[in-house]
Amino acid sequence: MIRKLLRRADANCPPIDFESYEPGHFLRYLLALQTSEGKRFGASTYNSRRSSLHHLYTIYEKKQSTEFKEELSLLFKSLRRRITEEKQEGDGRIQTGKSPISYNLYKKINEYMLKEGTTESVFGRAFLCITWNLICRSKNTTTIHLHHLEWSDDCLNIYFAHMKNDQLGTRKRDPRHIYANPIEPCVCPILAIAVYFSIFSITGTKDSSLFPGKNQYKRFAKYFDFILNKYSTEIMDEFGLEVKDIGVHSLRKGAASYVSSGSTCAPPQVATNIRAGWTMGQIQDTYLRFESAGDQYVGRVVTGLPLCSPKFAVLPPQFDCCIEDSEEIVKIMFPSLPSGLKSTGRFLSASLLFHLDFLKDILIPSHPLLLSSFLTSEQLSGMKKSIVVKYAWEEDENFKIVITDGTNQRDIESLCQVEVLKDDSNQSSASLERVFGHHPIPQEGRGSLQIRKATGIPPHVMLLASMQKVINSQHFFLQKMKETINLEFDKREVGHATFQVQKQVEQMLTSFEANVITKLDSLGDGKERKDGTPDDTCPTRNHNGGRWYHWGGKYRRVPHDWVFPNKMTLRTAWHRWFLVDYSNKVCPLRYLTSTDLHNCKNGRRNISSLKTLMNAMILEARKKQVYVDKPNEEQLDSMFKVASGKLFSFENTRAAETLSWHTYIRYLNKAKKQRKKK
């Protein structure tokens, strides 16, 4: 009923008395709003209510007076200040709205969806990848139509006609560029779209939407929430995020953060703002205009390509055969694909075939993709061999070491000859395969490659590529040179006997070293005699876990330059009392004696004080019957909660857990003196 009245905006039936309505009334309404846990909302919630109040005045053709606006603004400042103070005091979340997800969590969610094996997971992953790569609002993803897609050069272009910051559609229709990621196929948006098209028969006749149907946003939000809740424990353990703090809008926040500050060589902020659809005022339309290079750079970064590696310049999988053959396989894989997406279909099918083995390894047997009819096609295996993945910086060079038979010592310089073979049909795939491991281009039956221009590649990547090619050629040259020299020496039996003697000496030294290590290890397994030397014959194994150090004529449990850890909190001291310090290879402190600390400044006094403190805590743990003589870390924490209660009662402040163990020694001694007086 209230909605109907508000839609009519009948002046004779207003929802509030505009004449007598005051800012104090509105503030009382805001203060009455609470979460399900009885806590205050964030500042963004109150701002949206304020906007609603302004809209209410507008639809009823009422104006807020200047005094009303000033008083309301003052009250809002006080409210927001109070909200900030409460957050700082630990009440509520620091972040506003949903938390952004990191790239690693985005990758993990893709893996979760891949393993699900349902048609809903195929839809969800396609929606997820497109939203992340476009850095757009989810509503914009739902409004993408098939005729908004086109393939250009090495990327997929998607156009938007309406956005939040362009309600009237007055701006130029600039494409958003989406790139493939053959290095990490689980996050590749081109592969996600290809799997989506292979499962769902998208014809574009009845509904030209990429995601046809009503409420596709709710559909994705529901499935996204299902995935998060199903793997909530893993997400919390690995990323420290509660799933209730993650929403659909976290994708847009996370993608924007990853692009703008995910590396020290991030794309220009202007290009990121334009892609995300953020308003930068009138200066944007006048001076800061869209350029393809900036958005293409953003597209390569957001898809997850390694920005500080030559692999950033990777091209999408493509057919290296005639156009007719590639179009035939597109018809087999996507029989209902609209005719306007033929060029896009060739790259989608190439990406799907290229990663088919990866998908078979990760998908469950009942996944709808593995039940597709195109997998039974006879042309499938032949077309898979014609798919290549190239790098934009590859040149028509192939380095080859020239070896001359019968080389002697004087002709050693001939081993350094390097012949550069020019071959327009090879493009150095064989040499690059040694370094980057990508598939070589077939030498027979080659056709014309579809990509003639690489886009979105910054200059520093080309410099990295040049450096990598030099390293590659040097490694290859040195390896061949070493093999050739060894071969020539073996032919002439140069150093043959010496080599055998050297091998025997190395074996003797290795055996001697192993024996010495065994002897030293046995020293740490025995107890000490009264004179301080280790007793190797003692069958009881020393459970201190440390090692022996020989200095001052004796074996001791700490090095001669060891410093006693004075700046320990009570919890740290408790752990060090029972656990081994593996970084310094020192046993638990409870096993140290005055002999071990002979060279340590104030070491004997410190170990005596610490022993008194720890014995008091152990006594408390024994009283509560929680003491364990050889505890693990979990048992230590349980014991500490009980054993530290009495000591923490001496310091009733929030900083009790951060104080040094020396402070609690003073508290303990003071309590003993007071008991003696009584």
- Tell me the mean pLDDT per 10 residues along the chain, length 678: 79 85 90 81 83 89 89 88 77 69 95 92 95 91 91 90 53 82 95 92 80 90 95 92 90 93 87 82 65 90 92 90 79 85 91 92 88 75 82 51 33 33 34 34 47 85 84 85 81 62 72 65 47 40 67 83 83 86 81 87 88 90 87 84 82 70 86 84
Nearest residue to 558 (alpha-carbon basis) of 546, 574, 568, 566: 546
Give the start-to-end residue ranges of the domains of the chain: 2-88, 103-362, 549-677
pLDDT at 538: 39
Q: What is the pTM of this model?
A: 0.60
With CA atoms as reference, report the closest residue to 353 among 378, 327, 387, 323. 387
CB of 193 within 8 A of CB of 364? Answer: no
Integer Cα distance of 110 and 188 in angstroms: 10
In angstroms, the Cα distances linking 98 to 42, 137, 639 are: 11, 14, 38
Alpha helices (H) in 102-188, listed in sequence order:
103-116, 119-134, 138-142
What fold characterizes domain 103-362? hpI Integrase; Chain A (1.10.443)
- Provide CB contacts within 8 A for 329, sequence distance 6+: 319, 349, 353, 377, 379, 380, 383
Give residue 431's pLDDT.
Answer: 35
- 581 DSSP β-pair partners: 586
